[in-house]
Structure 1
Amino acid sequence: GAGQILSMVDESNRYKFDQACRVKAIELAASLFPDQETRLSINFMPNAVYEPAACIRATLDAARRVGFARRRIMFEFTENERMTDVAHVQRIITEYRKHDFATALDDFGAGYAGLNLLACFQPDFIKLDMELIRGIATSLARQTIVAGVVTMARQLDVAVIAEGVETEAELTTLQATGIHLFQGYLFAKPTVASLPQVWLPDALPPVDAHQTHAA
């Protein structure tokens, strides 16, 4: 499984692994996605990017080769690991934005310095960690925290994605806080090299250009 593969990634092969995953994800998205609006979301390793301008070349080449618009690619970085070089990550984000790539801060609320990273990077999206989502339908504390994050993000012009949504009660509660973008088993379970069957509740607006597929 994925855990076994990731356990074999170390300093000696991290860069090649990161680059290979990006290229493969773009190639698959170009062949699988049913329209010209659906986004591709790619997790990346900041410590695998030694020089942003040089390390993005393979990604640009792959997107150009298969005709996948760069504006449809979103790079996610996580706050779950301690970032020792915030300035380096900022350089990466700045370089990616030059090429019309979107950026997202993943697992927001689960790591070491979520608010500080949000202030430093101001990504296009933040993805709320599922631990904040679980039980939100019956937790006033979680509802209050999430509503506060949504208000703060709106003022910063950052979109919020709720990840790990598993029940309709969670979905309804999250919609009441002002969130419109969701990810989780309620809608579909992940598949390998194929598109999943997606279930959309009647209360959810039609899927738009912000729909994401993670790679």
Structure 2
Amino acid sequence: MASKTGCVACRDGQALDFPISMAFQPIVNLNTGAIFAHEALVRGSAGESAGSLLSKLNKDNLYSFDQACRITALEWAAKLQVPAMVSINFMPNAVYKAETCIRATLEAAQRFNFPLQRIIFEVTEQEQVLDVDHLTGILRAYRKQGFMTAIDDFGAGYAGLNLLADFQPDLIKLDMQLIRDIDQDSVRQILVEAALQMCRKLNIRVIAEGIESLGELQALRDMGVELFQGYLLAKPAFEALPAVHLPG
């Protein structure tokens, strides 16, 4: 959990000590061919990788980084006139009190005239969650504000059944390692089919991310998955919305 000092930094809008920008990657509904959402992915101001930025994080700038990512994502989503939802990653360990830390997001959405109902908050896979109760509290607070919520990397690390038992998000993203070469792996097929059946009963929509081959895509479509994200469809575009390549 973030410290009180960190919460004050968020509340007072402490500036981040290095510049950031955003890339966008679409999540596509292949049943309709429409873009369901664009995920906002943090980059350096010259397009540097997320990893190069994360290596600069410490206890003094973690909170301002998380806030800067949210605001920058909304700024670019508005500038690019994103026609669908926008998925914004957040770092739960950088949130002290959800109601306070969300304030800057609400103000940014109003400033950039971006509708709140088109915002998804997605738990980032970049850090280990230190307190699952704290995370579920954040997700409930975001849902109360009208935001959609998503759990990334389901099936890996903290994003498992224990978390799902305590909070049912609107969306989950299947971990890409779980779906890699799923068309050639009967064990992965059984595990994903079980996860999909569970999500249907809980009224949770599933996104298959990291799709790289037609075989993976077709196997998951045959299982009933509608929402897809990955290089096969579109790579992230820096400060732009990429063209989507729908399978023939």
TM over 0.5: yes
Aligned to 2:175: 129
Cα 1:78–1:121 change in 2 (3 A) is: farther
1:91 aligns to 2:140 (yes or no): no
Once the two structures are TM-superposed, the CA of residue 91 in structure 1 deviates from its matched residue by: 1.5
Once the two structures are TM-superposed, the CA of residue 83 in structure 1 deviates from its matched residue by: 2.7
Aligned to 1:16: 64
Cα 1:141–1:191 change in 2 (3 A) is: same
1:145 aligns to 2:191 (yes or no): yes
Once the two structures are TM-superposed, the CA of residue 118 in structure 1 deviates from its matched residue by: 1.2
Identity of aligned residues (%): 56
The aligned runs of 1:159-174 (5 Å cut-off) are 159-174=205-220
CA contact (8 A) 1:81 1:111 kept: no
User: What SS does the aligned partner of 1:149 have?
Assistant: helix
Cα 1:11–1:34 change in 2 (3 A) is: closer
Alpha-carbon displacement from aligned partner over 1:136-161 (angstroms, at most 9, x marks no partner)? 01111111111110100010111100
Q: Give the letter for the 2:87 counterpart.
A: S
Q: Over the residues paired in the alignment, what is the CA RMSD in angstroms? A: 1.4
CA contact (8 A) 2:151 2:159 kept: no
CA contact (8 A) 2:93 2:129 kept: no
| Moved >3 Å (runs of 4+) | 78-82
Once the two structures are TM-superposed, the CA of residue 81 in structure 1 deviates from its matched residue by: 4.5
CA contact (8 A) 1:79 1:108 kept: no
User: What SS does the aligned partner of 2:195 have?
Assistant: helix
Unaligned runs of 5+ in 2: 1-48
1:5 aligns to 2:53 (yes or no): yes
Alpha-carbon displacement from aligned partner over 1:25-83 (angstroms, at most 9, x marks no partner)? 00100121352xx1111111001111111100110011111111111111111467543
Once the two structures are TM-superposed, the CA of residue 101 in structure 1 deviates from its matched residue by: 0.7
Unaligned runs of 5+ in 1: 203-215
1:46 aligns to 2:75 (yes or no): no
Structure 2 CA distance, aligned partners of 1:157 and 1:112? 21
Alignment length (residue pairs): 200
Structure 1 CA distance, aligned partners of 2:128 and 2:166? 14
CA contact (8 A) 1:63 1:69 kept: yes
Aligned to 2:106: 60
Aligned to 2:37: none
Q: Of 217, 222, 243, which residue of structure 2 is paired with 1:176?
A: 222
Structure 2 CA distance, aligned partners of 1:90 and 1:111? 16
Q: Of 22, 26, 29, which residue of structure 1 is paired with 2:77?
A: 29
User: What SS does the aligned partner of 2:136 have?
Assistant: helix
Aligned to 2:243: 197
Once the two structures are TM-superposed, the CA of residue 4 in structure 1 deviates from its matched residue by: 1.5
Once the two structures are TM-superposed, the CA of residue 198 in structure 1 deviates from its matched residue by: 1.0
Instruction: With the length of structure 2 as denominator, give the TM-score of the two structures.
Output: 0.77
